[in-house]
C-alpha cells in the first residue's frame, strides 16, 4: 500500500526559501523498518546546517531529525515496536518534516503514556544530547557535585534541558545567552550563574565566578565566535567539548596552544555516535524519560508552527528569536 503525505523538502541548498512543500509517496516498511505517522516534529539547529549545505546529504532532502507519533506498520525483524504504539525518535537519516515516513526502527523508542507527543518532539534530539554531554562527555576524573561547567546558548533548546539536568546532578552550570531576558530564563531553569555574552566578556566573568580557577568542561555549540575564548575558561586538564557551529564552523586552531593553557583536552562530539545502536538509544532514552517524568527536567515548547511554516521557524531560529524547544505540527 502506498499513500501520499505532505512534507517539507529542499531540492538545492539555500536560505529558508529553499524549503518547499511537496507531496511524497510513503510505502510499506521493509525489513528492520517502521512506518510512523507524526503528531509533532522537532525543530533543531542541525536542520539549518543541512538546509544550507554546511552538513551535506543527498538531494532532494526532506529535513528533520526528531518527531513523535504512532507506529502504523512494522517490517520484518522489528520486535520492540508494533502497529498502534506511541513512539518517538531522534535520528538519521533526516525526514521528520512530514506527515508520515518509513524509517529504520532501531532509532525509534516507545513513548511512555505520560509524555505528550509535542513534548517528545521537543526533547528527543535535544534531551539525548544533554544526556550524553553531561553524563558521558566528561573530564578526567569525571564531574562531581559542586563542579563548575560552562554551557553556551543556555536558554536554547538543548540549553534549557542542560540547565535543569545539571542542577539535578548537583553541578554549577554557568550559562551564556544573548540577552538579559534569556539569562533570566537560564537562571530560572537551574543555571547557577548566567552571562550575557553579547555585552560581557564571558571568559573574564567565568574566571571571576570560579575564583580564578576556571571550569572543568566547556560545552560549546556556538563554534566560530566562542571557541578560542572558551579555551581560556578551562582549568588545567579541562575538557573543551565542541558540539555545534551556530555562529559558523570552528576555524583551524593551534593544537600546541593547548599545552600552555593547561594541558587541555578537546573533543568534537555528535549524538549520532552515541545512538548508533538500539541498545544505547534505549538506555539513553530511558534516562531522559525518567528525568522528565520525575519533574526534574521540564520541556518548554516556546514556539509552535504549522509544518507548512517551517521556513518561518528556520528564520526565527537563525535570528536567535527562539527560546527552549520549537515544534512543527503536521
Residue numbers at the binding site for ligand NAP (CB under 6 A): 44-46, 125-126, 129, 153, 155-159, 177-178, 182, 221-222, 225, 243-244, 246-247, 269-271, 317-318, 320, 322
| CB 137 to ligand NAP: min, Å | 9
Q: Could you tell me if 6 and 98 are in contact, meaning their C-beta atoms sit under 8 angstroms apart? A: yes
| CB 189 to ligand NAP: min, Å | 13
HSE (side-chain half, CA atoms, 13 Å) at 133: 33
Greatest alpha-carbon pair distance for the chain in Å reads 65
Report the alpha-carbon distance of residue 285 to residue 291 in Å, rounded.
10
How many residues make up the chain in this entry? 330
Q: Which residue is nearest to ligand NAP (CB)?
A: 156
CA 116 to chain centroid, in Å, comes to 18
Site of grid cell 523508542: 109
Put residue 309 in one of left, alpha, beta given phi > 0 → left and psi -120 to 50 → alpha.
alpha
| CB 83 to ligand NAP: min, Å | 30
The beta-strand segments (E) located in 126-214 are 148-151, 172-177, 193-196
Q: Could you tell me if 38 and 327 are in contact, meaning their C-beta atoms sit under 8 angstroms apart? A: no
If the CB atoms of residues 210 and 242 are measured against ligand NAP, the closer one turns out to be 242
If the CB atoms of residues 85 and 197 are measured against ligand NAP, the closer one turns out to be 197
If the CB atoms of residues 209 and 222 are measured against ligand NAP, the closer one turns out to be 222
If the CB atoms of residues 225 and 232 are measured against ligand NAP, the closer one turns out to be 225
| CB 234 to ligand NAP: min, Å | 19
| CB 75 to ligand NAP: min, Å | 28
If the CB atoms of residues 73 and 160 are measured against ligand NAP, the closer one turns out to be 160
Cell of 110: 516507545
| CB 174 to ligand NAP: min, Å | 14
If the CB atoms of residues 96 and 246 are measured against ligand NAP, the closer one turns out to be 246
Report the alpha-carbon distance of residue 90 to residue 330 in Å, rounded.
17
Cell of 100: 508520515
Amino acid at each position: 500500500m502506498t499513500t501520499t503525505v505532505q512534507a517539507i523538502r529542499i531540492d538545492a541548498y539555500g536560505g529558508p526559501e529553499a524549503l518547499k512543500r511537496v507531496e511524497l509517496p510513503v510505502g510499506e516498511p521493509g525489513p528492520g523498518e517502521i512506518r510512523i505517522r507524526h503528531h509533532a516534529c522537532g525543530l533543531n539547529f542541525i536542520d539549518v546546517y543541512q538546509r544550507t549545505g554546511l552538513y551535506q546529504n543527498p538531494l532532494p532532502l526532506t529535513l528533520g531529525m526528531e518527531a513523535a507519533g504512532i507506529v502504523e506498520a512494522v517490517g520484518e525483524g522489528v520486535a520492540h515496536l508494533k502497529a498502534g504504539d506511541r513512539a518517538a525518535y531522534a535520528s538519521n537519516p533526516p525526514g521528520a518534516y512530514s506527515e508520515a515516513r518509513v524509517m529504520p526502527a532501531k532509532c525509534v523508542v516507545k513513548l511512555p503514556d505520560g509524555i505528550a507527543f509535542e513534548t517528545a518532539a521537543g526533547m528527543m534530539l535535544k534531551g539525548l544530547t544533554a544526556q550524553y554531554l553531561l553524563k558521558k562527555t566528561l573530564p578526567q576524573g569525571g564531574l562531581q557535585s559542586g563542579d563548575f561547567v560552562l554551557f553556551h546558548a543556555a536558554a536554547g533548546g538543548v540549553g534549557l534541558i542542560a540547565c535543569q539536568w545539571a542542577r539535578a546532578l548537583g553541578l554549577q552550570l554557568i550559562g551564556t545567552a544573548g540577552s538579559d531576558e534569556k539569562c533570566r530564563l537560564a537562571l530560572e531553569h537551574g543555571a547557577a550563574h548566567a552571562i550575557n555574552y553579547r555585552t560581557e566578556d564571558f571568559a573574564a566573568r567565568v574566571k571571576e565566578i570560579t575564583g580564578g580557577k576556571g571550569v572543568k568542561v566547556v560545552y560549546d555549540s556556538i563554534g566560530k565566535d566562542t571557541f578560542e575564548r572558551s579555551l581560556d575558561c578551562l582549568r588545567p586538564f579541562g575538557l573543551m567539548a565542541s558540539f555545534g557551529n551556530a555562529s559558523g564552523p570552528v576555524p583551524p586552531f593551534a593544537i600546541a596552544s593547548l599545552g600552555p593553557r593547561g594541558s587541555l583536552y578537546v573533543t568534537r562530539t555528535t549524538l549520532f555516535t552515541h545512538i548508533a545502536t538500539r541498545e544505547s538509544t534505549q538506555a539513553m532514552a530511558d534516562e531522559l524519560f525518567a528525568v522528565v517524568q520525575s519533574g526534574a527536567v521540564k520541556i518548554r515548547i516556546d514556539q509552535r508552527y504549522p509544518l507548512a511554516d517551517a521556513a518561518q521557524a528556520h528564520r526565527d531560529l537563525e535570528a536567535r528569536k527562539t527560546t527552549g524547544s520549537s515544534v512543527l505540527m503536521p
